[in-house]
Amino acid sequence: MALGAQIPDEGFVLLLSDRPAERRALARAIGLVAACRAAETGDGLPPGRPRLAVLDLDAPALAAAEAVLDRAVPRLVLARRPHDGAGPSSTVSPPTAQVLPADAPRETVLAGIFAMLERAAQAERARARTLLARSGAATALVAELFDSAALGARIERAEIERGTGIVVDAVAEVGIRDWLHTVWRHDAGVYQHTLSVAGFAAAFGAVLGLGDADHRRFARAALLHDIGKSRIPAEILNKPGRLTPEEWRLMQRHPAIGADLLAEQGGTEPAVIAAVRHHHERLDGTGYPDGLAGAAISDLTRLVAICDVYSALTERRAYRTPIEPLAALAQMAGERGHLDPALLAAFRPVALAHAG
């Protein structure tokens, strides 16, 4: 591979070396094919997840770096001595780490780095193709659910479960940030919002440590939360400007419409139907459609409401710029009386993961 050819992959190579001359030389060479961030130790690692870590450190510094470095990140360890804690039998680095002696010729070290980068790029391309296929299938499935609801046809529970499984499994595998990035490539309307909210529910459920049944119920409620919009005119849903009072009154009917159609056809848990109906209620009683307040709003509904509001604030829309993740979280916290403050605080790791 020519050194001047950029490897098509996002991220950077993290180079930690306590040998200044070697650090400069390796950083210069790596920089020909990938972004490289070099440092002397693992203290204060740069933000973001590196796609590869090159660790050229003595035993104590290596142990310290491994303590803070994501173990899923591929790494090349330049071992000083077999008893240095960096040999193949060491438990300091993950067993998947590649190991070369620190005194290996520089061209050997660089060849190892470039080979690992190329393998990582190939794996990332395959992963991206799989994720794109999953999100495409989920978008098509949500479109079918909305079409069925609009026509008064039955919404098949098997399809709801399939969509829920796609979202939960994909977010568990790739994380919320990559899920959103891929979903946003497919659609810019109500389907995108639905899959974004479901993705946040999947991520939030994992952070909360929910059991499998509760986790999937949460994601299922998020997937269905706006199903009532299937019966709202498209010109209102897609209107780029402010709605008229009459249009807004019609839009406010969508939670009740969605809950009613799910209840009429049967097969949906009452807790999910309640979350669909009440996800726009507020703790202070100023929400809609029923003006519920406080304890009358279920925990599942409170969870879906947080994901819905956060997603709406951070999504790209034709008529406004999205709000940055942590700014959106701060705005939500400032609107006292709307959302559950304890659950909103628990949502912070999801926002941090979204921010990257």
Count helices and strands in the chain by DSSP H and E runs: 15, 5
Per-residue pLDDT of the chain (356 residues; tens, 9 = 90+): 333 333 334 579 999 999 999 999 999 988 988 899 998 876 667 777 788 999 999 988 888 888 888 887 899 999 986 544 444 434 466 777 899 999 899 889 999 999 998 888 888 888 888 888 888 889 899 999 999 999 999 999 999 999 999 999 999 988 999 999 888 876 557 889 999 999 999 999 999 999 999 999 999 999 999 999 999 999 999 888 889 999 999 999 999 999 999 999 999 999 999 999 999 999 999 999 999 999 999 999 999 999 999 999 999 876 678 999 999 999 999 999 999 999 999 999 999 999 97
Per-domain residue ranges of the chain: 13-104, 126-355
DSSP per-residue string spanning 305-343: HHHHHHHHHHS-BTTBPPPPHHHHHHHHHHSTTTS-HHH
Structure tokens at 339: 């959302």
Which residues are CB-neighbours of 186 under 8 A, at least 6 positions away?
135, 136, 139, 192
Can you tell me the distance from the alpha carbon of 304 to that of 314, in angstroms, rounded to the nearest whole number?
16
Cis? peptide before 245, omega within 30° of 0:
no
Q: Do 126-355 and 13-104 have the same topology in CATH?
A: no
CATH number for the domain whose boundaries are 13-104: 3.40.50.2300
pTM of structure: 0.75
* Cβ atoms within 10 Å, residue 233: 12
- Please write the tens of the pLDDT for every residue from 289-329: 999 999 999 999 999 999 999 999 999 876 678 999 999 99
C-alpha distances (whole Å) from 31 to each of 6, 23, 59, 121 are 9, 12, 26, 16
Rg over CA atoms, the chain: 24
Q: Which CATH superfamily is domain 126-355 in?
A: Hypothetical protein af1432 (1.10.3210.10)
The rounded percent of the chain whose pLDDT value lies above 70 is 91
pLDDT value of residue 318: 65
pLDDT value of residue 87: 45
Q: Token pair 């909305």 is at which residue?
A: 146
Can you tell me the distance from the alpha carbon of 337 to that of 267, in angstroms, rounded to the nearest whole number?
33
For residue 171, the Cα-to-chain-centroid distance in whole angstroms is 6
Phi and psi at 219, nearest 5°, equal -65, -35
